[in-house]
Amino acid sequence: MEEKIYSKKKLNNKKVALVSLTLLIIYVLYAVFLLTNEQAKVFTIEKSKLYLEETNIGYVIRNEKVVKGENYKNGMEQIKTEGEKVSVNESVFRYYSQNENELKQKIAELDVQVQKAMQENENINRLLDVKNIENQIDQKVFELNKQTDNSKIGEYKKEINELVYKKAKIVGDNSKQGSYLKDLINERAKLEASLNSGAEYVKSPISGIVSYRVDGLEDTLTTNNLDSLTEEYLNNLNLKTGKIVATSDECGKIIDNFSCYIVTTSSTEQAQTAKIGDKVKVRISTNSEIDAKITNIKQEDNGKYLLILEINKGITELSNYRKISFDLIWLSYSGFKVPNQAIVEKDGLTYVVRKRAGYETKALVKISQINEKDVKNEKYTIIRNYKSDELQELGWTTKEINSYKGISLYDEIIINPDISKIE
């Protein structure tokens, strides 16, 4: 009998514990609901940037001039590197001579003979002039080892060779083997002259930046035919978006480093209302925003608008591409960014409801504008406080203006407020 009573009490205790645990869980869930629901209703005002943008495909068109010589089949050596600036009539690259490898081999063999002959004249090597030249050579070699620019490396090598043969001439003039050294030097000079005369140097017809990325469209997509471009024509080029233009080993080109153009199409409301001269921004792969200006607008047969954007920065980077994906930023504005659901209108005026110390009060605010257009997108709006003269235009008295309380940084405002319940 006692065992039955004990078992019954034990069962009742389990039921009580289970009910208590269930009630505790319900309470916790309700508390979490209230907390999250309350948080969802409140938004803290901060200064931030609002964007109105779209991602488009664009074709890069430059003012560029292909430079090519007669001996392009011989292979070429770059004098100016990719992206380097060049002036008019300055050498950009050169084509190798037909027997260049043979001449270079003979010159290298002569260099060994000259060096050996100079080492055999230890007393002459102690001359002050020779020591000075050796110091210069050591300095040039030190600077050469730090260089990564191919054109600079070539310049240092040339200067080192000139110093070496200047030293050789001094040694030759002051040694018993002078005539032998002079013969070596003269023979080398002849080979050097033959090497240089056989090479073709290609010079720049205009000033700009050098590029060896040539895609064959330089004479087709030009700044002279921007008005005749259509979306259909550009699509028929069958270019791959983001593909880097291959480097040519036969020619190069000079690009205007002051401006280039991006041609794109759009059917957005912003494109439909855009005007020539409007300022926008573009964001390319580096995530940097570049100022741009609309220079041409043309409505296509399919209803889209073909836009031509002129930019003055990022030209060197864009020289790698012909077709890109980029962000067209119609609007970029900093200020108090708030959710659209926090804004209410009453009697033609705009308000937000501020929550402070448990009390809710409405605050009169003004939507920021650019070119008479509200600064807003589908989620957020930039707002600001009224100025005194604007309040005066609304008919406010001086006392009312002085007591005006707008919004401040880190104010908490209500999402979807019921302004009818607030005085």
Q: Report the alpha-carbon distance of residue 171 to residue 130 in Å, rounded.
A: 8
Q: Report the alpha-carbon distance of residue 284 to residue 11 in Å, rounded.
A: 71
User: How would residue 25 be classed by pLDDT, with cut points 50, 70 and 90?
Assistant: low
Mean pLDDT of the chain: 81
User: How would residue 381 be classed by pLDDT, with cut points 50, 70 and 90?
Assistant: very high
User: How would residue 208 be classed by pLDDT, with cut points 50, 70 and 90?
Assistant: very high
Q: Report the alpha-carbon distance of residue 268 to residue 235 in Å, rounded.
A: 20
Tell me the mean pLDDT in the region 243-255: 95
pLDDT given at position 181: 62
Q: No. of H helices and E strands in the chain?
A: 11, 19
Domain boundaries, the chain: 44-50+335-421, 54-66+209-332, 97-198
User: How would residue 119 be classed by pLDDT, with cut points 50, 70 and 90?
Assistant: low
Higher pLDDT, 22 or 289: 289
Q: Report the alpha-carbon distance of residue 326 to residue 347 in Å, rounded.
A: 42
User: How would residue 359 be classed by pLDDT, with cut points 50, 70 and 90?
Assistant: confident
Residue 5 has pLDDT above 80, yes or no: no
Q: Do 65 and 205 meet the contact criterion of CB atoms below 8 Å apart? A: yes
Q: Do 195 and 104 meet the contact criterion of CB atoms below 8 Å apart? A: yes
The tokens describing 304, both together, are 């889209």
- What value, to the nearest 5°, has the Cα angle with vertex 275 and ends 269 and 279? 95
User: How would residue 39 be classed by pLDDT, with cut points 50, 70 and 90?
Assistant: very low
pLDDT given at position 347: 87
The tokens describing 111, both together, are 């260099």
> Which of 329, 328, 300, 325 is closest to 58 using CA atoms?
325
User: How would residue 112 be classed by pLDDT, with cut points 50, 70 and 90?
Assistant: confident
Residue 9 has pLDDT above 60, yes or no: no
Q: Report the alpha-carbon distance of residue 367 to residue 384 in Å, rounded.
A: 6
Reduce the DSSP state of residue 414 to 3 states and report it.
strand
Q: How far apart are the first and last CA of the chain?
A: 72
Higher pLDDT, 15 or 244: 244
pLDDT given at position 73: 85
Q: Look at 179-188, 242-251, 382-391 and tell me which has the smallest mean pLDDT.
A: 179-188
Higher pLDDT, 25 or 125: 25
Which residue type, as a one-letter code, is found at position 421? K
Max mean pLDDT range (32-41, 177-186, 321-330): 321-330
Q: Do 58 and 266 meet the contact criterion of CB atoms below 8 Å apart? A: no
Q: Can you list the pairs that 346-354 forms with residues at least 24 positions away whose Cβ atoms lie under 8 Å?
A: 346/419, 349/394, 350/383, 351/419, 352/383, 352/407, 352/413, 352/414, 352/417, 353/413, 353/414, 353/417, 353/419, 353/422, 354/407, 354/411, 354/412, 354/413, 354/414
Residue 170 has pLDDT above 80, yes or no: no
Q: Is 208 exposed, middle or buried (0-12, 13-18, 19+ CB in 10 A)?
A: buried
User: How would residue 197 be classed by pLDDT, with cut points 50, 70 and 90?
Assistant: low
Q: Do 48 and 410 meet the contact criterion of CB atoms below 8 Å apart? A: no
| Residue-wise DSSP of 310-379 | EESSSHHHHTTBSEEEEEEEEEEEEEEEEEGGG-EEETTEEEEEEEETTEEEEEEEEE-EETTEE-B-SS
Residue 351 has pLDDT above 60, yes or no: yes
CATH of domain 44-50+335-421: 2.40.420.20
Tell me the mean pLDDT in the region 16-33: 57
Q: Dump pLDDT digits (tens) for 143-152.
A: 666 666 655 6
Residue 226 has pLDDT above 90, yes or no: yes
**Cα distances (Å, whole numbers) of residue 253 to 200, 256, 263:** 16, 10, 21
Q: Report the alpha-carbon distance of residue 324 to residue 282 in Å, rounded.
A: 12
Residue 32 has pLDDT above 60, yes or no: no
Residue 355 has pLDDT above 70, yes or no: yes
Q: How do 42-44 and 412-414 pair as beta strands? A: antiparallel
Q: Look at 62-66, 143-147, 279-283, 374-378 and tell me which has the smallest mean pLDDT.
A: 143-147
Q: Report the alpha-carbon distance of residue 339 to residue 44 in Å, rounded.
A: 10
User: How would residue 40 be classed by pLDDT, with cut points 50, 70 and 90?
Assistant: very low
**Cα distances (Å, whole numbers) of residue 128 to 121, 134, 375:** 14, 10, 76
Q: Dump pLDDT digits (tens) for 63-102.
A: 999 999 988 888 888 999 999 999 999 999 988 877 666 6
- Residues 6 or more apart whose CB falls under 8 angstroms from that of 328 comprise 53, 54, 55, 56, 264, 266, 280, 282, 307, 309
Tell me the mean pLDDT in the region 316-330: 94
